[in-house]
Amino acid sequence: MKIDELYPSRFLKATDLHGRPSLHVVERVTLEEFDDGETKPAVHLQGTKPLILNRTNAALIAGFLGDDTDAWRGKQIVLYPAKVDFRGKLVDSIRVREPKVNARTQPAAPAAPAAPVPADDTDDVPF
């Protein structure tokens, strides 16, 4: 039995990502109260447990979705595992980034118009 199975959490942990980034859709952001009386923001995601937002992750999301958490609803974010410094030790953590845009899903840029060819009756080509 794994330790995470002995102590399940109602919130996402780095081990829940299984070492891989994953794409998620934001349902809502709430304030969660803990037994010690502390209140922390949590981003609820479709199909998985909510993620408690530390200041770093909240600032990262706000950087690409804006600072109004109500506007995050329905938007995509990527969660990925990372090692971070916590009180002088490297610990497993979850970080957030903006989804990368797939070039195949982007509309093609309009082609630049071809340069006009001057009308010239001579075959002289300067070398």
pLDDT of residue 115: 52
Q: Hey, what amino acid is at 81?
A: P
Indicate the number of domains in the chain.
1
Cα–Cα distance measured from residue 6 to residue 104, given in angstroms and rounded to the nearest whole number: 44
Cα–Cα distance measured from residue 115 to residue 120, given in angstroms and rounded to the nearest whole number: 15
pLDDT value of residue 105: 44
Q: Is 66 left (phi over 0), alpha (psi -120 to 50) or beta?
A: left
Strand partners, 79: 22, 96
Range of the domain at 78: 3-100
Report CA 28 to chain centroid distance, whole Å: 15
Q: Specify if 121 maps to a domain.
A: no
Give the pLDDT of residue 120: 52
Does a structural domain hold residue 125? no
28 touches 41 (CB < 8 A): no
Flag residues of the chain having pLDDT under 70: 102-127
Rg (alpha carbons) of the chain, rounded to whole number:
24
* pLDDT for res 5: 78
Is 8 inside a domain boundary? Answer: yes
Look up the pTM and report it: 0.75
In a domain, 120, yes or no: no
Gap between the Cα atoms of 13 and 91, Å rounded: 12
